[in-house]
Structure 1
Amino acid sequence: MKMRGVVAKRRVIDYGVKCSFETLLERCSYEPHAAWRGHAAATPASGLFTTRLELIGELDKHHEGESPRSVAESRPVFGDPVTEADVRLTIGEILHKEVAAMNLDNFVVRPHRRVIEKYAKPSAWVALTPEALTELATEVSGLPAELDPEAEEAKRFDLLLLNLQLAQLRSEPAFARLRDQVKAIARLLEEKSTIPMVRQQMVLIQDLQTDEWWQDVTVPMLEVVRRRLRDLVKLIEKQQRKPIYTDFEDEMGPETGFALRGLGEGAGFAKFRDKAQAFLRAHQDHVTIQNLRTNKALTASDLSELERMLAESGVGAVEDIERAKSESRGLGLFVRSMVGMDREAAKQALAGFLAGKTLGANQIVAA
């Protein structure tokens, strides 16, 4: 779009070098559902509870008429959720567990005994009417539950992803803003790649920063993000930076094209190497990668299998793989540079090299 002579008033928020993680999560506020406003307390604990209730209500509307899955009778969802029904089941289990953990001897809980006993039964969560959702939001949300405490960052990240799922289901404009917050958090997490538990999720963390991942994103995909990253966000350093607000008027002129340094071919290939390394290290139990790590000879079919794995994983384009093969003098050497060699295999290789030779320490180092 080209604009000439248009005066636009803008408000810029400058967080210094980058927006801090603490600031990102502070934006994850909770606004009670219109029907519950004035009844449900807008606290972090009740915010999570009621937002999950909203998501259940929205999912039930999307699948109205379908046979509901029981929290008690259905098998628990192991691994990543595949369908919205899986997500609905998981949310029901989380909320049922919280209600069941409310101590009726607690003086705060005791006045709500009838409602809590009702929803402490797994069968109560199979199908929730709008009246049931309102009852839970106004009478149960915010009550103390005897559950193991969780990190505040994890709970705020949950709230962010729940709001994102709601925005996706409702096709709300807020989706873009919430998506950008997740992207920013992923960028901060990528800086912690030296931490093993972060490195295990590096493929997902890097994918989240691409526009392609967000095309046709689904509620189950967002639930996977919530599950995999919620326990990692506490590792991000909190930056105590106050935002600087600047108000100014700017006259918008014609568009001008320019090249962005650092975002060219070299930067793209470096990104490919990072993603390939994270993927390969996560699949070190694969027989071909095991052969590489233990210094066993690879066959042509082994190399074809390696190339297939990289191509199908989506870590890079065919051009990236070809460049890796060219620069490393073969795909096998490229992969080995990513995953390293087993210590015992390296010692055996060195012993074989030294066999029958009389070399000094300096000669061995030089070799």
Structure 2
Amino acid sequence: MVEAKRTRRDPQVGQQQAKLYADCLEQQFGQRPIIFYTNGYQHWLWNDASYPPRLMQGFFKKPELDLMIQRCTTRRSLLTTDINDTIVERYYQTRAVRRISEEFERHNERKALLVMAIGAGKTRTVIALCDLLMRCNWVKRVLFLADRVALVNQAANVFKKQLPASSPVNLVTEKNTEGRVYVSTYPTMMGLINEVGNGQRKFGVGHFDLIVIDEAHRSVYQKYRAIFEYFDSLLVGLTATPKDEIDRNTYSLFNLEAGVPTDLYELEDAINDGFLVRPKSVSVPLKFQREGIKYNRTLA
């Protein structure tokens, strides 16, 4: 249901009127509609059965809208569904999936930040989360973003091994392939957002239901924020940066209190549990420190 106002008016003035129309339509047809209100420049979506209103970059395609309406009745509880222990078997991985699930289901949050030490299994943890969300009909398509091609290739291989039914697609090399999990670098996705075919964008605003950001921090958001603002999706950030070293603004991006991520498993925890060993520092003197820098050599 769309409530349209003149371009010079704030579209939010139509919110209550749109709700009244939705009430009437639900009473007449037995189905609560998804509410949009707009002035032609700003578009607001309000699925008032689940979430407060949120600003959109456009309207959903019909299949995306059909899927959103369908989920109102077919979505199952994340908290009572078993986590696939063939994907994750360590207690902290299961705990992380549960805590993110609680934020999504109990608190109606749409963002989460997972802090986990390098080597502790962030990718497998998020794959278990994707599996749970797919089985419970919360998400259909997932976008996994990383800042280097090597990390994209690595993530694609892990998805193919741990969740082959998701038909993972590496967008760096397979731009025209269909699947349920898409893995990409940020620049590749920036280019694909603007790609148009048959008068429509390749990816609509509702194409992805979950976006995962590998090594989430403020600089990534500032540089590629168009991606996160364009897609209407759940958002999960992953980082190995210790919680006290994460920029305060990074927490605010995920609507979190500074220093309090959705779940935390740091290096010291992994060492104490016996999953990782303490790193050893090795002093390696560099040549310029031993011999200095000579001006004539810098010009050679």
* TM-score between both structures, scaled by the size of structure 1: 0.24
* TM-score between both structures, scaled by the size of structure 2: 0.28
Q: Which has the larger Rg?
A: 1
Greater helix proportion: 1
Greater strand proportion: 2
